[in-house]
Structure 1
Amino acid sequence: MYQLLIVDDQPDLVEDLATMLPWESIGIGSVFQAGSGAEALGIMKETPIDIVISDIRMPGISGLDLIEAIRAQWSHVRCILLSGYNDFEYAQRALKSQASDYLLKPVEDEELLNAVQSAIASLQKRWMEVSSHQSAVATLKDNLPIVRSHLLGALLKGQRYAEADWQKKLDMLGLGIRPISSMCMMLLRMEDYFVGHKESDSSLFQYAITNIAEEIFTDDFKLWHMKDDYGYCVFLILPKVEGTDLNLPAIEQKMTHLQHYVKLYLKGTVSLAASREAKFPRDIASTYENLLGSFRQRIGGERDFFYTLGEDQESLEASSLSQLYQPPLLHHLLEAGQWNAAEEKLGAIFAELGLKWGDSHEHILETYYSIVSSLSYSIHKNKLWMADIMGADFNQLLNGPHFHTIRQLESWTTEVVGAYRLNVSGRAQDSRSGVIQKVQEYASSHLDSASLSTIAEHVYLNPSYLSKVYKLETGEGISDYLSRLKMEKAAHMLRSSQEKIYEIAAMVGYQKTSYFIKVFKENYGVTPQEFRDS
């Protein structure tokens, strides 16, 4: 559903247009109101608006100035201008400002609805063009190296995709790779001469090195590369012909050539480490972790070094739990309140722990400290105390872990995360209830001037967010609530006071008495005077 903003310095006209036309029937979900150009721009900074209807002649920022300001900041917004002046200069400037329509007052309801429908059609066409296949393909081609690099980076961190999704991504990126291909991974570290240069020069060196690698490898292999978070250049080496095995001796020979040509032409040294043959994409994350560890342990601070990881060395080494550290991370899920996803994440962590390291007390400790770190970060970020959340379990935290089995750790984690979730959910409910109370108190005491924008300003919330929260908690929109409150107060005053009808209309926020009478009759079936007489 689209969002509409109506701007006019006559509040009764704005109210009339906002509430009396069947906006929902043409696809408008929310209608916002502003009494000036400045207020309109304020609303647009806080709320995504799709279409603006504005009067031309307003004090301060005119309607023409307003749509020019909108064009400068929100070029996708469609603007419709209303004017009581059949002036060619106004129309000419409106056309230059790319107004969607220019209507003369008094405008008929059907004419205005048609203009908004036309603006919606224009928006739909524009966004379809933006999101079209041709546009997406052109953008993808321009950014292909970056997109490929991001995908490889996600794989190194353990991101997984369904096989069908894999094939789509690989085809889209033009990599010519199929799942379950043989692969070898190579890490390259730039050294000596390359170190200490400014970032732009370092990027140029990296570009030159990858070009040399492409030149050396691509007659016999496919290469896919990126620079990782540790500064290594990561290369996936895949067979040129799909379905064939890798020639590892040939890869080692080309690696020595790469070292030689980098030293010869770029005057710097690089160290290289290569994995044994593995399967793409299944083994990417584990192969990367093993290579990183081996690079640190076996190459370390040596320069111009070459190393190939053997299968026997790989199998004897311990490794960390991949599920603990691959995205989405547990502390991100807890911080965002994505409780179901956090439960799934914990399930995957404990499943891996049980499958690979069920007898390893060290890995139970690693899991425990990682979970405690995530919990403390999230709890403190929410301005809460762990002792308040955890109760008696906090003492266990102070005394250190006493878990001897995975089941004990999993049970403790489930209990603590459950208590945290319950506390946060309760606070959110209390917070929303407090907002509702403030809204209703303000509306009751400022009925003559209350609107969604003034109430939102009073409670320091975005109008769109406030509207959603209020409806979620009460089942009623703020505009409907204000209208009902005004009618109830007007009915009470008609029964119990001697105030004149135009005075009652002004006291409940209607500057135009005729409009008040119309709305009152729609609600009660009789005019205010007939109601009072009865």
Structure 2
Amino acid sequence: MYTLLVVDDEKWVRQGLSLTIDWMAEGIELIGEAEDGEEALHRIQMDSPDIIITDIKMPRMDGLELIEALRNQQKKAHVIIISGYNDFHYAQKALKYGAYDYVLKPIEETALLEVVRRCVGDLEQENKRHLHLKEMSGRIRESLPLARQHFLEMLLLGRTTDTIGDQEARWQTLNMALNPDCLTVLTVKIHHWGSRAECERDRSLIRFALGNIAEEISMNWGQAVACPLDNNADTELAVLFSHGISAYDKVSCINDAFSNGMIALVHAAKHYLGITISIGISNAGNMMKLAQCFEEALNACSFAFYDGFGKVYDSARLPIIENKLHAYNGPDGSWETRLNQAMRLGDNRAIHELAGQLIEHLQSAREQSSPLNVSRGLRVLLQSVVKKWEAAHPFMKAPGIDIFNETILNKDFTLAQLREELPVVLLQCACESRGTGNHKRIVELGMHYSHLHYMKGITMNDVAEHLCLNPSYFSKVFHEEVGETYSKYLIRLRMDKAKQLLKTSTLKVYEIAEKVGYTDFRHFSKTFKEIEGLTPGKYRDLGI
């Protein structure tokens, strides 16, 4: 099943494309509509449709600009252009920009379906080629030395389905230079990538180089095998270390020396690669417990959130948290609501207080759970705050969110850094809210929400809840700014939509009532007559 987004500034065109064609029968799911390129780009970033049908000329961002933006962001989608005869040269230009094809207005269903079906066929061929390449890549991965890395990665992540006997045999076959009965896992987290990591390929090379340095330094105490992890959110590199000594007292001494010596890896990473790292070290275990050791090392390394980057954190020297690893999921949802409300209202005092309370909450959570779970939960909260803020500003570019992404979401931070930077970016967002006029912005957002949902029987309380505002406060602000109550505004909005449908559609009156949010047909007719002075049927007959 492929996904489709329809983009056109004319509602009747969007509805026509959405309702007149049985997209499901074509193996396509219609995931939404957009009025122009800017709204479409926002939807594309969230849903990544396979096919986009877009008009060539639209306000704010037209079809050509949309195609160019997709190309700049490296978004893969097949774009079908809708073009009038007068816009034919635009269509030719769109094909040069990378559009899949174009369909001339007025749109004929057969012509459009011909292009769409050809597009689906090409998508299927692309998917087959991608699957073939993926299978070939899998076979190559099984060759040495990549087979070692793949095997270790499965063990560390607990994803192997092999029996114990099969794992031991594979360990021997891959000629692992480690004692499988005495293993320690290191995780290395890169916090600051320096100036050399311009793309993901550069980062992969840095991980590989860092692994080589780790193996070389570890030779002073035993044997080590590095396993770069390109797609792990919590760490960039795992290192398996084995000293090969079985006597417990000697093991303890070597582990202490090894832990102290790993600070040399921190310095080497800074000196040779220009990166800042922290290291987590697990307790000793065997091959069967590698996933547990890996989790221990991740949790040890996560103490950098509280105690700072550029250090070595050894599980043996840290508080015992084994019973608390999954007891905490981060700040609850009330923080998100309160932060967004304070930002929307531009309440500097509330922002300072909430930011301070959040930091204290995170500080106290250190005694309750692993810092890894605390920082993961915090990330989820901050990402949700950003998404809600962006959703509340659909027609406004918000530099504050760019700063938020740059200084908070797109980089690692310690609790001390968060204490300094979080209030700053929250206040920037609040400043933007005030810059648009606080009360005026509230009314703008309320009207925008009403236009999107008037057909669902919404009430003032629904709008106030969406804006995280007290209903009485929203009612007061709306009346002051607009000069009428929200309920009268909503009725007027619904009646305007009803009149439009009475003029332009063949829908029955009771169907129109449902379309504009009335479940009771009689109540709709009565309200319509009170406002317009005649019934809906008479209004249609007179052609007013």
TM over 0.5: no
Band of TM-score, shorter chain? 0.3 to 0.5
Considering Cα pairs closer than 8 Å and 6+ residues apart, tell me whether 1 or 2 has the greater RCO.
1
Bigger Rg, which one: 1
What is the TM-score with the length of structure 1 in the denominator?
A: 0.43
What is the TM-score with the length of structure 2 in the denominator?
A: 0.43
